[in-house]
Structure formats: C-alpha cells, structure tokens
C-alpha cells in the first residue's frame, strides 16, 4: 500500500545464498487481494530444529498459539506464512483455520501437523478462509526451490516499503555454515495493526534447545530493543530453523548454546538479528529518521533499558526529532517519567555527538548552528549519561511524523 520506499532503506541489499535443507515458494492465494503474492511456503528437510519467540500480548493470534504449542516438539518440516489476514481475534474459527492450514500443509509435505509452523499478518477480526490454501500449498511444496529469498521476503510484506533480508556465513569448527533471515516490519494492511514477523534459517546442526537459547539471548538487544510506537501486535513472531545440513560437510552437532565452538556463530547469528531489527526501525510507519538511543551511567542495564525505552516511546521526543529539533528538555522529561533512578543535576545529553546539556542545565558551550545541522541527518543518535552507575543500553526507534498519523488514521476519512 505504500507508494514510495522509505528514505532510510538500506542502499546495499545482499543476495542471499542457497541454504542446504531449505526450499522456498510463493503464490497468490487471494487471501484478501486478488493477484498479489500472499503465501510463502518454506519446505524444510527432515531433522530441522525449530525455536521461536513471540508477542507478549495477552491476546495473541491463533497462529501464535499454534506455534507456541508446536515448539514443544522441537521439529519443523514446513513454514506457511500468509499476508492479507492475521487470523487474530477470530475466536474458535481462528483455531479451526490454523488446524486446517496445518493439515493441508502436512499433507503437502508429508509430515505431522505438529511439524507445521504458521504465521499470518493482515486484517484482524475477519475469519481466515483456510480452504483457500487447499491445492495452493500442494503446488508450492512441489515447486519449492533453494533460491528465491527476495521473493519470499516480498511475499510477507504488508505496507513495508522494502523487503528485509540479511545473511552471514561463518565457520563452526572447520565447516562453513550459512545464516539467512527475512523480516517484515511495522507496515499496515488497512484497517489493521502493524505486525513484526521474522524468520531466520541456518544449516548449522543445532539442537532445538540450543537454538531456542540462542534466539532468546539474541533478541534481547535486537528485536526487543526496537520500538516504533510502543504498540505490540497480537501476532509478532520470530522463528528460527536449523536444518543441520552442514553436518554432512563436517559441522559438529551442537546441543548447548554455551558450547565454545559456537562463539563465532553466535556473533554472526546476533548480527543477522540486529540487521533485520534495524531494518524494521528503518521502515517504521512514516519514518524519516532512524533514532538510536544510548543510555549510560544508569544504576543497572535493566534501568538503562527502561529509560531508553521511555525516551524512544515518547511522542514529544519523536515529534521533536521529526521537526529536526534537538529538544533535550523533552529528553529530560522522558528520563524523568521512566520512574528509574535519575539525578536531574547529573544528566548529560548529546545529539549526534554534540553535548547540549550537562550537570542539570544547558551546556553553555554548545553551538546552536552545529546542532541544527546535525539534526538534519537521516540518522540521529541521542546519548543520555546519567552519571550514577555503570548500566548501559541501546535501543532503536524512528521519528513520529504526520505520515504516521496519515497511514494509521486517514484511511477511512
């Protein structure tokens, strides 16, 4: 639905290599709009381990409930993602739709329904007619190919203005393994809410519990450190799959996340997550500025996170950034409302490296023209030093523009 690509879109988009054990295919199933690609099927070789993290919403979508339940098995053979309908707040029919989709997918692949993973994004409160997958998933399973990652990333877009992919290669022992990931971000299918979906794949031979531990640790400073508007979708889903295919090339099977042989892999895995999460922020609804918020000198890292999130979610801070205004007064306000330890008279605040406030007052040495020029950049860093302790954290967000209100408010007017 978006007409123009975000000015914050990455300029270098990588070509994702084939990944042993993963085949992809997309189709137009007519879930909501005719003629647009709206289904992605990812076929996974036997022995694929799966891990997942989901929305913390107390009112999750039916596919989120399905995946949470099936994660217990630890094994995946197919992922089915549709856009056009989120199958959220659809009551009993929502559960029936996930059951039917999984049944169709399991027959198409030849696996148990418990090895089918599902994600849906789009309109909510409308029943998802899963019979539309009948026939479609069978054909996709037959035609799925190792390539086509960019098509896959496009199929799961809603009003994202660009497809989001990331990749890394790294060695476990002496064997090269690959990590490929895709995400969709805070886009919209009118009249509904933003949803974050992300899927990461590797051929590394990792156990499900190892992958789950890596994923849980990895999201803390990546996907969980990004906020667009502080709202949380009922459908947010991040699934990771490890096909284990690299074992044939000599990669050791690894069952513990703390295994020292995983050191380089963990770094690369987290970098893929960080890359995807940053792209989500870069494509925030109406975003014109990518905003990095760094808080240091807090009493703990958790305290620094709370303060950083308070700043990142403050409409007054976000509108100031949109107005290219180094409004440190609003940053003080957001620090103050976080409820965490802070001493007004020890606070320092810098925008893009230029300190504008120190020791509880305006920094008398700062140059207004220099700050104004810095605020025109597409990437803004706000650094807050509390001067209390060693707690440090970083979150990413974007500015709040009139385009955000337009995208989210104007479609019926």
Binding annotation for substrate: 158, 184, 195, 285, 408, 413
Site for a copy of itself in 105-124 (CB under 8 A): 123-124
Q: Residue-wise over 357-374: b if at least 16 C-beta within 10 A, else e?
A: bbeeeebeebeeeebeeb
Among 49, 80, 357, 382, binds a copy of itself (CB under 8 A): 357
Decide: is 374 part of the binding site for a copy of itself (CB under 8 A).
no
Question: Which phi-psi region, left, alpha or beta, contains residue 61 (left: φ > 0; alpha: ψ -120 to 50)?
Answer: beta
- Give me the least distance between CB of 247 and a copy of itself, in Å please: 40
388 near a copy of itself, rule: CB under 8 A? no
Which among 143, 51, 123 is positioned nearest to 82, based on CA atoms?
123
400 binds a copy of itself (CB under 8 A): yes
Nearest to 99 by CA among 109, 110, 112: 112
**Which C-beta is closer to a copy of itself: that of 271 or that of 403?**
403
Q: Applying CB under 8 A, which part among 20-28, 85-93, 149-157, 171-179 lies near a copy of itself?
A: 85-93
Site for a copy of itself in 170-209 (CB under 8 A): 191-194
Residues between 37 and 56 that touch a copy of itself (CB under 8 A) = 55-56
Cβ proximity of 285 and 403 under 8 Å: yes
Using CB under 8 A as the binding rule, whether residue 267 contacts a copy of itself is answered as no
Number of residues that bind a copy of itself (CB under 8 A): 75
Residue with tokens 């030849």: 110
Alpha-carbon span 386 to 400, nearest angstrom: 25
CB-based burial label for 411 (10 Å; 0-12, 13-18, 19+): exposed
The DSSP annotation for 290-329 comes to EEEEEEEEESSHHHHHHHHHHHHT-HHHHHHHHTT---HH
Q: Does 336 bind a copy of itself (CB under 8 A)?
A: yes
* SS3 state at 121: strand
- Looking at beta carbons only, is 233 or 279 nearer to a copy of itself? 233
Residues of span 228-247 touching a copy of itself by CB under 8 A: 229-234
Active site residue: 101, 121, 161, 195, which one? Answer: 195
Site for a copy of itself contains 344 (CB under 8 A): yes
Site for a copy of itself in 124-163 (CB under 8 A): 124-127
Q: Which of 59, 249, 264, 373 binds a copy of itself (CB under 8 A)?
A: 59
3-state secondary structure of 25: strand
Considering only residues 294 through 323, tell me which ones interact with a copy of itself, judged by CB under 8 A. Answer: 313-316, 319-323
Closer of 71 and 335 to a copy of itself (Cβ):
335
Given candidates 113, 333, 366, 394, which one binds a copy of itself under the rule CB under 8 A? 333
Q: Please say if 93 is a catalytic residue.
A: no
Look up residue 245 and give its DSSP letter: G
Taking the C-alpha atoms of residue 163 and residue 189, their distance in angstroms, rounded to an integer, is 16
State yes or no: residue 401 binds a copy of itself (CB under 8 A): yes
Q: Is 410 in the site for a copy of itself (CB under 8 A)?
A: yes
Q: Is the peptide bond before 191 cis (omega within 30 degrees of 0)?
A: yes
387 binds a copy of itself (CB under 8 A): no
Q: How far apart are CA 350 and CA 24, in angstroms?
A: 46
Q: Output 253 or 337, the one with its CB closest to a copy of itself.
A: 337
How far is it, in rounded angstroms, from Cα 310 to Cα 332?
Answer: 10
Active site residues: 195
């Amino acid at each position: 639905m978006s007409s123009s690509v975000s000015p914050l879109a990455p300029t270098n988009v990588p070509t994702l290599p084939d990944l042993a054990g993963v085949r992809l295919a997309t189709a137009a199933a007519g879930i909501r709009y005719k003629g647009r690609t709206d289904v992605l099927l990812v076929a996974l070789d036997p022995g694929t381990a799966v891990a997942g993290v989901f929305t913390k919403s107390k009112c999750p979508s039916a596919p989120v409930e399905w995946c949470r339940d099936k994660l217990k098995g630890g094994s995946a053979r197919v992922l089915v993602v549709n856009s056009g309908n989120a199958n959220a707040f659809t009551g009993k029919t929502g559960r029936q739709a996930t059951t039917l989709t999984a049944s169709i997918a399991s027959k198409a692949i030849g696996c148990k329904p418990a090895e089918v993973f599902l994600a849906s994004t789009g309109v909510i409160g409308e029943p998802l007619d899963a019979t539309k997958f009948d026939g479609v998933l069978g054909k996709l399973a037959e035609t799925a190919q190792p390539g086509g990652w960019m098509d896959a990333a496009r199929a799961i877009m809603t009003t994202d203005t660009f497809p989001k992919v990331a990749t890394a290669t790294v060695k476990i022992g002496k064997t090269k393994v690959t990590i490929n990931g895709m995400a969709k971000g805070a886009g919209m299918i009118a009249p509904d809410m933003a949803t974050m979906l992300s899927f990461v794949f590797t051929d590394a031979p990792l156990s499900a519990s190892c992958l789950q531990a890596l994923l849980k640790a990895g999201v803390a400073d990546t996907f969980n450190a990004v906020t667009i508007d502080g709202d949380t979708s009922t459908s947010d889903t991040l699934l990771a799959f490890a096909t284990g295919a690299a074992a044939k090339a000599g990669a050791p099977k690894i069952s513990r996340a703390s295994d020292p042989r995983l050191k380089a892999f963990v770094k690369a895995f987290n970098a893929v997550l960080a890359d995807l999460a940053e792209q989500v922020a870069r494509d925030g609804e109406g975003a014109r500025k990518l905003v990095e918020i760094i808080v240091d000198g807090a009493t703990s890292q958790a305290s620094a996170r709370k303060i950083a999130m308070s700043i990142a979610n403050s409409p007054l801070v976000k509108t100031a950034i949109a107005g290219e205004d180094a409004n440190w007064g609003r940053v003080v306000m957001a620090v103050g409302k976080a409820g965490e330890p802070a001493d007004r008279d020890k606070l320092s605040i810098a925008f893009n490296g230029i300190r504008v406030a120190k020791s509880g007052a305006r920094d008398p040495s700062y140059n207004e023209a220099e700050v104004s020029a810095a605020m025109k950049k597409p990437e803004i860093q706000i650094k807050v030093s509390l001067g209390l302790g060693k707690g440090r954290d970083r979150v990413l967000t974007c500015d709040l523009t009139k385009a955000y209100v337009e995208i989210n408010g104007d479609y019926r007017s």
